[in-house]
Structure 1
Amino acid sequence: MFNKKKINGFTLVEIVVALGIFSLIVLAASSILITSLRSNQIIWNQLSTQNEGRKVLQEVVNDVRRAEESSTGGYPIVLAQEYELIFYANIDTDSEREQIHFWLEDGILKKGIINPSGNPLIYNSDNEEVVELAHFVKNEEISSPVFSYFDESYTGSEDALVIPTVVTSVHLVRVQLDLEEDPNKSPVLLHVESSVHVRNLKTN
């Protein structure tokens, strides 16, 4: 009689089960990788938004710091509201002071510039040049003012001046932005803020 040799190998059922387990492992690893990549992308987007917000904030602060009497003799600050600020400053290379206008509209922080023109000089609102500085600004939605104002006695703990503000009382301006890079992805708002003394109004 011939001796029957036992042949070792995988049955079809074992192969199917092994492939199933392998597929589950691959799917789980892929899911973790995708989630990690998405999380990293959100973080990078947030960092990018925060950096952009700081750049915008610095531009606003630099302009406010330069506020001074207009080329026609007007008081440095024209309007001081929670979501709008108008003042005069020389922000370019000529000798005239421009009218600078910052305001929040539909989640967009805008900047308008009017150069004085004519003889005698006037600030014609029809000549305002407008640029958009920041998008997805949520301050108005969460009732957080972009601009807050303080008088010359402010030491760091006093409340902001009541709106509508008497412009001649303003000596320090706090600027804050609450930004959202992507409403569908960003878990929290990104907050940036800074305060600036209006240089030509300081008396202390």
Structure 2
Amino acid sequence: MPRLPRRAPAGLTILEIVIAIAIFTTATLIIAGYIVQGYRVNRFAMEQADALEHARRAIDSMAKEIREADISDLGSFPIASATNQSFSFYSNLDGDSAVEKIRYFLEGTDFKKGVIEPGGNPLAYNPAGEKITIISRYVRNGADPIFNYYDGNYPSSTAPLAAPANPNQVKLIQLSLRVNIDPSTAPDDLTLNTFVQIRNLKDNL
């Protein structure tokens, strides 16, 4: 009995191979896209949280130092200047015998702290000796106040003093920092607020 010829096992055609490769490539790109997007979102969240933590530390540090503001070593009033974007005062930062002059101010999106030690003969606070450090980045206050000032009528009168405020009228200070590492990306600015009384200037608050 004659044998029937064997049929070659069916294989994939070139078209089928191309389609399979295209499907695999597309799926791989989609998965990779999700992974990259997830990494970006996670990195943004971590950076935003880090920026917020630095701002929180800055607020806490400012509040503590402002609360302890005191007469300078030259006998000057505890508050040197009070604007919406900067605040200068005298306080003993390190617990030694000298009272430092401290300045908090916004430069671009960097919130900075300047410290001047008294020195020289005669004794003076030389601006050339100011040591400046960045204490918080990505601050988005812009022209909006970082510092608001209130007199002894607060909270009966909630209107802040016009800036620059008269240092002799200031009894209470509101600190406000808005933080956002990328304003073009959600979420919106995160705002930290606190109120500080200068102990040596307490009135009827």
TM-score (norm 1): 0.87
**Are the counterparts in 1 of residues 180 and 189 from structure 2 also a CA contact under 8 Å?**
yes
In the aligned structure 2, how far is the partner of 1:14 from the partner of 1:120? Answer: 91
- Counterparts of 1:28-39 in structure 2 under 5 Å? 28-39=30-41
* 1:2 is the counterpart of 2:29: no
> Which moved further from structure 2: 147-156 or 67-76?
147-156
What per-residue deviation string (whole Å, max 9, x for no partner) do you get for residues 102-134 of structure 1?
112233222222222245533222322222222
**Are the counterparts in 1 of residues 183 and 189 from structure 2 also a CA contact under 8 Å?**
no
Query: Which residue of structure 2 lines up, in the alignment, with residue 45 of structure 1?
Result: 47
* 1:113 is the counterpart of 2:118: no
* 1:128 is the counterpart of 2:130: yes
In the aligned structure 2, how far is the partner of 1:113 from the partner of 1:16? Answer: 69
**Are the counterparts in 1 of residues 58 and 136 from structure 2 also a CA contact under 8 Å?**
yes
* 1:20 is the counterpart of 2:22: yes
Q: CA RMSD in A?
A: 2.3
In the aligned structure 2, how far is the partner of 1:202 from the partner of 1:69? Answer: 14
Query: Which residue of structure 2 lines up, in the alignment, with residue 149 of structure 1?
Result: 149
What per-residue deviation string (whole Å, max 9, x for no partner) do you get for residues 26-45 of structure 1?
11111111111111111111
Q: Which amino acid aligns with 1:18?
A: A
SS in 2 for 1:52: helix
Give the CA deviation at 1:157. 7.4
**Are the counterparts in 2 of residues 45 and 181 from structure 1 also a CA contact under 8 Å?**
yes
SS in 2 for 1:36: helix
Give the CA deviation at 1:88. 0.9
**Are the counterparts in 2 of residues 180 and 186 from structure 1 also a CA contact under 8 Å?**
no
**Are the counterparts in 1 of residues 51 and 138 from structure 2 also a CA contact under 8 Å?**
no
The change in CA–CA distance for 1:57 and 1:2 in structure 2 (over 3 A counts) is same
SS in 2 for 1:117: coil
Query: Which residue of structure 2 lines up, in the alignment, with residue 174 of structure 1?
Result: 174
Note the residue ranges of structure 1 that are not aligned, 5 or more in a row: none
Q: Which amino acid aligns with 1:149?
A: Y
Give the CA deviation at 1:4. 4.7
Give the CA deviation at 1:137. 2.3
The change in CA–CA distance for 1:36 and 1:157 in structure 2 (over 3 A counts) is farther
**Number of residue equivalences:** 202
TM-score (norm 2): 0.87
Give the CA deviation at 1:182. 4.6
Q: Which amino acid aligns with 2:118?
A: P
Give the CA deviation at 1:82. 0.6
**Are the counterparts in 2 of residues 172 and 195 from structure 1 also a CA contact under 8 Å?**
yes
* 1:87 is the counterpart of 2:98: no
What per-residue deviation string (whole Å, max 9, x for no partner) do you get for residues 60-101 of structure 1?
111111111122221111110011111111111212211111
- Percent same amino acid among aligned pairs? 32
In the aligned structure 1, how far is the partner of 2:132 from the partner of 2:114? Answer: 4
